Structure 1
Amino acid sequence: MSQAEYDAAIERTLIGIEDALDNCDRDIDYERADAVLTLTLEDNGSQVILSRQSANRELWVAAKSGGYHLGFDNSGDEPGWKCTTTGEDLPTLLDRVLSEQMGEPVSLGLQ
């Protein structure tokens, strides 16, 4: 993946997450500052942070349960961000960590 392809994929992903949060029925605020998207759970103030790691061409997710590194996987039928340690795709990982931190099921409906 070239740097331009990586940048485009990250931008699409972050915009998709922002759109999903705008349509979510949970109290999750977000703030984007350049390469970092911070999700704040209003009920308890905890945060999930997504950050662009251009040097590695990765997307990192920091949550209470740990830090996750995701690389873009073009090899399957459904290309997307995959966690290098858990094998989860980004929608599954994000729903899981948000659910764990909220203490109730969260589904952003990301593709």
Structure 2
Amino acid sequence: MTDLEFLDRAEAALQAIELACDRINEATDADVDNQRVGGMVTLVFANRSQIVVNLQKPLHEIWVAARSGGYHYKWDGQAWVDTKGQGELFAQLTRCATEQAGQALVFSS
């Protein structure tokens, strides 16, 4: 994957995360605040816990830091998949956000 391809795919993923937060806030009382600075999106929950999603451009990876741990995702041609076998980006983000918010939340691409 070229640098440009990575940036296009990674930017689409970050935008999907931001849109998911908007949908969640409209449909639930979860109140997930999302703050974007460059290639990083920080999700802040009502209990002040955070999930940070950021781009690691030199490695062509998306990194996620959550209460449950840190995760690294690479594009496999179809989806962003964890480099250590922990699953797909949006599925893991759904699990982490649900845990941190204390209610069922759904993130999707």
TM-score by length of 1: 0.89
1:18-65 alpha-carbon deviations (Å, 9 max, x no partner): 1111111221000000111000002x0000000100010000000011
Q: Which amino acid counterpart does residue 52 of structure 2 have in structure 1?
A: I
- Which ranges of 4 or more aligned residues in structure 1 deviate by more than 2 Å? none
Higher share of residues assigned helix: 2
Tell me the C-alpha RMSD between the 2 structures: 1.0
Q: Which amino acid counterpart does residue 10 of structure 2 have in structure 1?
A: I
CA distance in 1 between partners of 2:106 and 2:100 (Å): 13
The alignment status of 1:85 with 2:84, answered yes or no, reads: yes
* Structure 1 segments unaligned to the other structure (5+ residues): none
CA distance in 1 between partners of 2:90 and 2:17 (Å): 9
Q: Which amino acid counterpart does residue 68 of structure 1 have in structure 2?
A: Y
CA distance in 2 between partners of 1:34 and 1:53 (Å): 12
The alignment status of 1:106 with 2:95, answered yes or no, reads: no
The alignment status of 1:57 with 2:56, answered yes or no, reads: no
Bigger RCO (CA 8 Å, 6+ sep):
2
Question: Tell me, what secondary structure is at the counterpart of 1:55?
Answer: helix
* Residue identity (%): 34
Once the two structures are TM-superposed, the CA of residue 16 in structure 1 deviates from its matched residue by: 1.0
Q: Which amino acid counterpart does residue 27 of structure 1 have in structure 2?
A: D
The alignment status of 1:12 with 2:2, answered yes or no, reads: no
Aligned equivalent of 1:28: 32
TM-score by length of 2: 0.91
Q: Which amino acid counterpart does residue 105 of structure 1 have in structure 2?
A: A
**Number of residues paired by the alignment?**
105
